[in-house]
Chain A
């Protein structure tokens, strides 16, 4: 059963449908929020808020909207609210930047590092990306959404997302140079 059908079933009161949806998407949403805000406690709070918003808005859900897009749109908006509340809307959302992590992150190439160490370093590199680029990368990796759909989630254009994603990948390649 696809996400949209499950969400409609939950709108009609089927709680087991919600459990399925939650199991499918809880990891992606949680990682997206955690890597965007960089704080476990804040990530927990935002994560709960996102799902509560979804629960409360269940009657307004329409099958024409892709569930993943809808879910991450809620998560994105909650994140922006969090930034605004802390008077810190990242500049990267306002103006695409070519900043990368080259200046902030220098990883010594270690040729015998195992894959887990590589993954750990990748997460470290991701955390140092500008927020907008990081969001594009995370949405692409966590949701498998297309560029257009990611643009819908982030409330911007496809070209902007494509650009952010290109810069993000370039920065990560540099950060992990020698490890890949």
Chain B
């Protein structure tokens, strides 16, 4: 027991003596090297295009290139068929040629009637063009629909620009026809107003001497009524004109 206590005491002395001997420390250059390494490792890594996450920007670039290619191909598919372009662009010139006068002006009204044959001709041409364009557009819409339907549902959920353009095509093509129809109606209405203004409602009971319409305009009106396929009224006005001239 005494020996154990003695050993314990000596162990404590050994420990104290060892602590007194603790003077060895690492050299300063090691301290510096280790602390520098610790800081470098802890700081964020610098951007390196070969090891960093380059996949995201590369994927985005690839998507952009592919999208551009697809859009270009689709645009080429929907380009006008040979010979169609001139017809389509002629429509844009028509408003100037077909501009109609105001109903309140007599001479302008006469002019509108004079334009009626031109309107009909243009209308016929446009209808042809529209029929052709309509067929082409329908065919393309059909093809496009097949393409769209063949895609996955997720891809079809949002229509792209080309689809929207195709779906709008019939309306765009129909608008010149509507314009021409309006102008023909206007020409008819102008003729009606002239007849009502100078001849009244009942052409059969009129006295030609009381009609104030100038002879030249009267003749023009008759011609234009015939062009508008209003033969009955044209004949009556012609009979009245003959009576007036006979006097």
**A interface residues, Cβ below 8 angstroms from B:** 10, 13-15, 18-19, 22, 26-27, 30-31, 34, 44, 47-48, 51-52, 55-56, 58, 115-116, 118-120, 122-123, 126, 141, 169-170, 172-173, 176, 180
Contacts and interface: CB of A to CB of B under 8 A. Distances in A.
A123 B37 contact: no
A118 B17 contact: yes
Contacts of B33: 48
A15 B18 CA distance: 32
A14 B41 CA distance: 11
Nearest to A31: B24
B14 A10 contact: no
Contacts, number: 86
A61 B11 CA distance: 35
B42 interface: yes
A158 B26 CA distance: 30
What is the predominant secondary structure among interface residues of chain A facing chain B?
helix
A55 B43 CA distance: 12
Contacts of B22: 27, 31
A171 to B, nearest CB: 11
Nearest to B27: A44
Interface of B: 7, 10-11, 13-15, 17-22, 24-27, 30-31, 33-35, 37-39, 41-43
Contacts of B20: 115-116, 118-119
A52 B30 contact: no
A27 B24 contact: yes
Given A47-B30, A48-B30, A122 B38 contact: no
Contacts of A115: 17, 20
A169 to B, nearest CB: 5
Contacts of A47: 26, 30
Given A122-B14, A122-B21, 10 more contacts: A15-B35, A22-B35, A22-B38, A27-B24, A31-B22, A31-B24, A56-B41, A169-B10, A169-B14, A173-B10
